[in-house]
Amino acid sequence: MPNETLRRALRAQTASQHRLLDDAVGSFATVEAYGRFVANSLAFRAPVETLLARGTRWPLLPLADLMREDLADLDVAPRPEGVFAKAPGGAGEVGIAYVLEGSALGARLLVRRAAALGYGARYGARHLARQVEDMARWRRFLALLETIPDSQTDAVVAGAVAAFDFALGIYTVETV
């Protein structure tokens, strides 16, 4: 039986953060707004990828290098990368991966918005195109969640909350 308790807890305890992050990302209807989005995404994603690259229960889909290429296409300088201060380890890393994998669901919409600005898999939106290549990945991640014991629910949720907090700290700060 799926670990619906964990899935419900993740959704419930990150719902307000998720809405705030969606609002912060916005629609990026302009090239400038899209450039800010990619720069913010890299500032968030790179340190999280570094943390998770040392090995977790879930195989990382690295996107930071593609984001750097996209920024070069856009002629936008990367922001300084954030410092992910909370490294919960173990089950907490599954919570962090939940945030990353969930972003692929949103990328289906974002890739269309980027295409409307003239960006795609070969120029300017490589990272989004890569993120939407394997939509079965989310179902595989949900299967992993089913294997997490109830005793680790709090740690998984704490990792997801920490990842959302980290992202919000980046996406909601205006850069000059």
> What is the per-residue pLDDT for 117?
97
**Domain range annotation of the chain:** 4-171
pTM over 0.85: yes
CA-based R_g, the chain, Å:
16
The C-alpha atoms of residue 167 and residue 68 are separated, in whole angstroms, by 18
Q: What is the mean pLDDT of residues 33-50?
A: 95
The C-alpha atoms of residue 107 and residue 115 are separated, in whole angstroms, by 12
> What is the per-residue pLDDT for 67?
98
> What is the per-residue pLDDT for 86?
65
Architecture of domain 4-171: Up-down Bundle (1.20)
What is residue 14's DSSP assignment? H
Residue 31 token pair = 């090239």
Q: Judge whether residue 176 has pLDDT over 70.
A: no
Q: Are 33 and 26 in contact (CB under 8 A)?
A: yes
Tens digit of pLDDT for each residue in 112-149? Answer: 999 999 999 999 999 999 999 998 999 999 999 999 99
